[in-house]
Chains A and B, each alone.
Chain A
Amino acid sequence: MDIFEKNRANELFAKVIVLALLAAVAVLGQAPTKGWAQRTPDGQPDLEGYWSNVTITPLERPAELAGKAFFTEQELAEREKRAEIPRSAEQIAGTIAHYDFHQYGLDMTQTKHALNLRTSLVTDPADGKIPPLTPEAKKRAAERAAERKKMGPYDGPESRGLGERCIVMAHEGPPMLPPAYNANLQIQQGPGYVAILQEEIHDVRIIPLDGRPHLGPNIRQYLGDSRGHWEGNTLVVDTRNFNDQTNFRGSSENLHVIERFSRIDADTIVYEFTVEDPTTWSRPWTAELPMTKIKGPIYEFACHEGNFDMVNNLTQAREQEKAAGEAAKKK
Chain B
Amino acid sequence: MVGLAVMAALAPYPAAAQAIAYKAPRTADGHPNLNGIWQALNTANWDIQDHSAAAGTVVSLGAVGAIPPGQGVVEGSEIPYQTWALAKKKENFANRLTADPEVKCYLPGVPRATYLPLPFQIIQGGKSIMIAYEYANAVRNIPLTDPGQSPAPSWMGWSVGHWEGETLVVDVTSFNEDTWFDRAGDFHSDALHVVERYTARSPDTLTYEATIEDPKVFTRPWKMSMPLYRHVEKNAQLLEFKCVEFAEELIYGHLRKKPSK
Contacts and interface: CB of A to CB of B under 8 A. Distances in A.
Direct A–B touching, Cβ under 8 Å: yes
A41 B129 CA distance: 13
Interface in B237-261: 237-240, 242, 244-245, 247-248, 251-252, 255-258
A297 to B, nearest CB: 6
A231 interface: no
A41 B154 contact: no
B258 A41 contact: no
B252 A188 contact: no
B190 interface: no
Nearest to B249: A157
B252 A304 contact: no
B18 interface: no
B255 A188 contact: no
A211 to B, nearest CB: 10
B29 interface: yes
Interface string B3-35: 000000000000000000000000111000101
Contacts of A131: none
Contacts of B130: 186, 188, 190, 195, 197, 204
Interface of B: 27-29, 33, 35, 105-107, 121-128, 130, 132, 137-139, 141, 143, 147, 151, 154-156, 178, 235, 237-240, 242, 244-245, 247-248, 251-252, 255-258
B35 A314 contact: no
A188 B239 contact: no
B242 A189 contact: no
A195 B132 contact: yes
Contacts of B121: 206
Contacts of A167: 242, 244-245
A314 B252 contact: yes
Nearest to B121: A206
A71 to B, nearest CB: 37
14 contacts: A42-B27, A155-B257, A167-B245, A188-B128, A191-B27, A197-B141, A204-B137, A221-B240, A222-B240, A304-B247, A305-B178, A310-B252, A315-B255, A318-B257
